[in-house]
């Protein structure tokens, strides 16, 4: 499990020569095993914050630390290794490989982490783990299907299984229900709950939907690149 500490994050992009501030001094903490929803409208900075948490981008100012270890202290190769071993990502737009089956898409993260030789050595165990994850996601009957044969909700369930194949202590989810109708979206959150299981992995989920955010342990509301309010759910 991992705690996350965010201190005075600033991020500015440039539109031509014009600076566009996106994050304006964000500070927050996420306890190990906590599920935090970052709630805000489009343009509030929530997705940028999530990308920084995952080491996909770097802040202009401020710091992110996991269990006290700062991302800024890591080299590029160390950050890549950190992402492979420590963080699972779920995005709004699934990003499944159309030519691969459900189980093959699920195993992609393990293939990348281990390399060809390492994967071949552990393929049997990993395939069992993938089948178990997909079973929890209600997809045991879809293992050999391609993404084009799945509904939107099923594709996102595959994406969640893929994010968890390496058993990361942290799961970062960017609008995971954004492409789904309300009923399917809440069914997907049930999958999040079931896959959270006894490990109580740390989850940070970005959403614009208050009802989705209310499924988390705590809600952090953002507006104009700043944290406006933090409150528990329930």
Percent of the chain with pLDDT strictly greater than 90: 54
Please work out, in degrees rounded to the nearest 5, the angle formed at the alpha carbon of residue 126 by the alpha carbons of 120 and 131. Answer: 135
The per-residue pLDDT for 84 is 84
Average pLDDT, rounded, for the chain: 89
Question: For the whole prediction, is pTM greater than 0.85?
Answer: yes
pLDDT at 54 exceeding the cut of 90? yes
Domain ranges of the chain: 4-232
Q: Is 163 exposed, middle or buried (0-12, 13-18, 19+ CB in 10 A)?
A: buried
Please give the residue that has the higher pLDDT: either 156 or 12.
12
Nearest residue to 12 (alpha-carbon basis) of 24, 26, 3, 1 = 24
Query: For 155-182, how does the pLDDT look when each residue is reduced to its tens digit (9 = 90+)?
Result: 988 998 898 888 899 999 998 888 778 8
Look at domain 4-232 and name its CATH class.
alpha beta
Confidence class for position 23, pLDDT limits 50, 70, 90:
very high
pLDDT at 200 exceeding the cut of 80? no
d(CA 203, CA 211): 17
d(CA 94, CA 92): 6
Query: For 82-141, how does the pLDDT look when each residue is reduced to its tens digit (9 = 90+)?
Result: 888 899 998 877 789 999 999 999 998 888 888 778 778 888 899 999 999 898 888 999
Beta bridge partners of 174: 206
As a three-state string, the secondary structure of 78-123 is HHHHHHHHHEEEECCCCCCCCCCCHHHHHHHHHHHHHHHHHHHHHH
Q: For residues 184-198, give the mean pLDDT.
A: 77
Please work out, in degrees rounded to the nearest 5, the angle formed at the alpha carbon of residue 110 by the alpha carbons of 135 and 113. Answer: 160
Helix or strand (DSSP H, E) at 12: strand 4-15
Confidence class for position 3, pLDDT limits 50, 70, 90:
very high
The per-residue pLDDT for 199 is 65
CA-based max dimension of the chain: 53
The per-residue pLDDT for 50 is 94
């Amino acid at each position: 499990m991992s705690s996350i500490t965010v201190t005075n994050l600033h991020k500015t992009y440039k539109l031509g020569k014009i600076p566009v501030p996106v994050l304006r001094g964000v500070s927050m903490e996420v306890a190990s095993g906590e599920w935090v929803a970052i709630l805000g409208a489009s343009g509030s900075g929530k997705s940028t914050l999530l990308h920084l948490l995952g080491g996909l981008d770097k802040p202009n100012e401020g710091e992110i630390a996991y269990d006290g270890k700062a991302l800024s202290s890591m080299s590029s190769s160390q950050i890549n290794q950190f992402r492979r071993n420590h963080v699972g990502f779920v995005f709004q737009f699934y990003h499944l490989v159309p030519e691969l089956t459900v189980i093959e898409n699920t195993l992609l993260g393990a293939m990348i982490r281990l390399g060809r030789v390492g994967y071949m050595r552990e393929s049997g165990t990993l395939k069992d783990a993938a089948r178990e994850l997909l079973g929890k996601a209600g997809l045991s009957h879809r293992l050999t299907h391609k993404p084009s044969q799945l509904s939107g909700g099923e594709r996102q369930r595959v994406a969640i299984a893929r994010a968890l194949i390496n058993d990361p202590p942290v799961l970062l989810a960017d609008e995971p229900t954004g492409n789904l109708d309300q009923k399917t979206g809440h069914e997907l959150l049930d999958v999040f709950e079931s896959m959270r299981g006894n490990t109580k992995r740390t989850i940070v989920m970005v959403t614009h939907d208050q009802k989705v955010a209310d499924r988390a342990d705590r809600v952090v509301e953002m507006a104009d690149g700043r944290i406006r309010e933090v409150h528990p759910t329930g």
